[in-house]
Amino acid sequence: MGERRQGDGFKGRLDNLRSVVYGIYMIVWKEPIEFQWDSGNSRKNEKHKVINEEIEGAFNDRDKAISPDHEHSSVEQRYILLGKTKTQRLLYIVFTLRTGIVRVISARDINKKEVYLYEEAT
């Protein structure tokens, strides 16, 4: 079973009942957000030079954009988050929610097209 870790400080908290809106799509979390890190995903993003704390920080971005990932949601509902870390690094994060807990599938730097999408959403 994977480790369930609550984000602390800026790494995992959102304002209480903060809404995240991208287009007409909305996800509402109560704080704090919990992340599931285990052997299947805890070191997976090192190839993109992204660490888990950065990923958690992007969920804290007040200007983040979240959209359903319809193309890759055949087994479980997946989402795409475009957000900035505490150090202003822009990340593209694919995640799912399992019983209200965020499980990150992948994370990488966003490309030029995605920068445009992030800027248009904010």
The top-scoring range by mean pLDDT among 7-21, 60-74, 76-90 is: 76-90
Written as one letter, the residue type at 18 is: R
| pLDDT score recorded for residue 14 | 30
Report residue 52: phi and psi, to 5°. Answer: -60, -40
Look up tokens 């799912």; give the residue.
Answer: 96
pLDDT above 90 (res 122) = no
pLDDT band at 81 (very low <50, low <70, confident <90, very high): very high
Q: How far apart are CA 80 and CA 60, in angstroms?
A: 15
pTM: 0.74
Q: How far apart are CA 58 and CA 10, in angstroms?
A: 10
The top-scoring range by mean pLDDT among 1-10, 17-26, 66-75, 92-101 is: 92-101
Domain that holds residue 81: 3-121
pLDDT above 80 (res 118) = yes
The number of folded domains in the chain is 1
Judge contact between 66 and 81, C-beta under 8 A.
yes
